[in-house]
Amino acid sequence: MGSFPSGLRHDYKDAPPAAAAKRVPRWPWVAAGMTTPFIAAAVLILVSTGSETAAVPEIDDLSRAADPVVFANTPQTGFEPGISDSGLSGDEIRMIVGRGDSLGQMFRRHDLSLGDLDEMVDLADAAYYLRMLNPGNEIVVAHQEGRVQSLEREIDDFKALRIVRTSDNFSATLIERPVENRVVGAHGIIERSLFEAAQDAGIADPVIMKMAEIFQWDIDFLKDVRAGDEFTVIYEEIWREGEKLKDGVILAAEFMNRGTPYRAARHTDADGVVDYFTPEGRSVRKAFIRAPVDFTRISSTFDLARRHPVLNTIRAHRGVDYAAPTGTPVRAAGDGTVSFRGARNGFGNTVVIEHGGRITTLYAHLSRFGDIRVGSRVQQGQTIGYVGMTGLATGPHLHYEYQVNGVHRDPQTAVLASSEPVYLADADLVAFQAAAAPLWLQLDRYRPTQLRATATY
């Protein structure tokens, strides 16, 4: 059966930088920050405090509706109050930072004391957050006839800066803003593409991409996915005051690929290292990932009798081409050492990595290189370059090769070298299995009955 397209919506272009803020002579340090660049494959995942595989209450019925099913509301505790309307003496002014705004300009507009601003910006805990402002930031100032009594500035969804007047100066404190972690679950069945199925299930793209990262050592999501495959994701949503802020971490997931189930749950060890493990306590990580680029379409497969698209001659194609927009990050398939970095004939900009065990991988037609050089040690998943069309290429793509003892192997079907499996042991294993048990039960509710007792690993 041919490869199944992922259907990913691509947008790898960074947002253009904001225009430089007009400088005010007395306040050169308060220019509004630049617009944050956006890259589709990147999302901010925030880890909640406490156990990463917290128990999930039993649910009588798990609907397969388009919206994720809420399993539990688990508010975080131990936080100080955040920005509020109460407790501010005198008059109150709420200011929203606009493009090009400076704090000095905003103080002038509202006839607030610039001398007070001088004193506040000298506070060690406040200086950075008063100098680095972004459009849309909210700043709340309580004052009496222009003299500042307090200032509160939201830093992000989880932190705020509070400055209050003392008897002789000001004091600054960073406070946590109370949030609520809701555990939700969703299930999808693939008909056309993974991302369309995720949309139908109410799962955001970043969540489904994180799920694919969990299973990337076993499933090539560019080749192996088929119509009829199913997936289930149990993950956190971060809420505050009845408003969803963003999606959080994946607690557990399962992907049913051609009838074979793969499942894993999140665990944080005593050193704070986060990984995903199978029900037996084995890490999902292996020596090589199946595909060195994220969700794109395979434009040319391994073929020893392929007609070259530029030269129009029969020429062996000893690798796989992954079509992707120029600038898409290219990742090292495994740990190793860079043995070549430069231009190579028709391959254009090329990187070759030696992985040990007489295994090498090659990455060609790159638009530019990552922060590597010959002799650099690279880790699996590290960005080594970016998709391009240097050399003999008809369009932007990555040409990827996998060799063992100098012999080319099809990267899509080769039995990839495996590292020694890593298992949880002793207390870590006991803690993981106890915390993950209710998560497995939630995943089981979506499984066909005949598969509920099976295990892949």
Please say which residue of 159, 177, 195 terminates a domain. Answer: 177
Q: What gap in Å lies between CA 380 and CA 359, rounded to an integer?
A: 14
Q: What torsion, rounded to 10 degrees, do the Cα atoms 393, 395, 401, 406 define?
A: 0
Confidence class for position 13, pLDDT limits 50, 70, 90: very low
386: its two tokens? 């970016």
- Domains held by the chain: number: 3
For the residues of 137-164, what is the DSSP string, one character each? -EEEEEEETTEEEEEEEE-SSSEEEEEE
Note whether 140 and 164 are within 8 A (CB). Answer: no
pLDDT tens per residue across span 107-152:
999 999 999 999 999 999 999 999 888 898 899 999 999 999 999 9
Q: Say what the pLDDT of residue 25 is.
A: 40
pLDDT tens per residue across span 264-304:
999 998 888 899 999 999 999 888 887 888 654 434 443 33
What would you report as the CA-atom Rg of the chain, rounded to the nearest whole angstrom?
Answer: 26
Helix (H) or strand (E) holding 264: strand 260-268
What does pLDDT average to over the chain? Answer: 78
Statement: residue 308 has pLDDT above 70 = no
First to last CA, the chain: 25
Is residue 25 a part of any domain in this protein? yes
User: Within its chain, how far is the Cα of 30 from the centroid?
Assistant: 30
Are residue 278 and residue 307 in the same domain, yes or no? no
Is residue 338 a part of any domain in this protein? yes
Please say which residue of 155, 177, 199 terminates a domain. Answer: 177
Domain CATH code at residue 130: 3.10.450.350
Are residue 127 and residue 235 in the same domain, yes or no? no
Are residue 10 and residue 148 in the same domain, yes or no? yes
Segments forming the whole domain that contains residue 330:
297-409
Are residue 173 and residue 184 in the same domain, yes or no? no
pLDDT tens per residue across span 364-398:
999 999 999 999 999 999 999 999 999 998 899 99
Is residue 72 a part of any domain in this protein? no
Is residue 440 a part of any domain in this protein? yes
Q: What is the mean pLDDT of residues 45-70?
A: 44
Q: What gap in Å lies between CA 211 and CA 11, rounded to an integer?
A: 20
Q: What is the mean pLDDT of residues 410-431?
A: 77
Global pTM reads 0.61
Which pairing describes strands 138-144 and 349-356: parallel, antiparallel, or unpaired? unpaired
Statement: residue 59 has pLDDT above 90 = no
The partner residues of 175 in beta bridges, in order of sequence, read: 160
Please say which residue of 132, 156, 177 terminates a domain. Answer: 177
Q: Name the residue with higher pLDDT: 200 or 156.
A: 200
Place of tokens 């103080």: 107
Q: Where are the beta strands (DSSP E) in 89-229?
A: 91-96, 138-144, 147-154, 159-165, 170-176, 180-189
Q: Which residues of 321-352 are buried (b: 16+ CB within 10 A; e: fewer)?
A: bbbbbbebbbbbbbbbebeebeebebbbbbbb
Three-state SS letters, 291-307: CCCCCCEEEECCECCCE
**Residue 426, phi-psi category: left (phi > 0), alpha (psi -120 to 50), beta (remainder):** left
Q: What gap in Å lies between CA 246 and CA 180, rounded to an integer?
A: 11
Torsion sign over Cα 144, 148, 149, 154: positive
Are residue 320 and residue 404 in the same domain, yes or no? yes
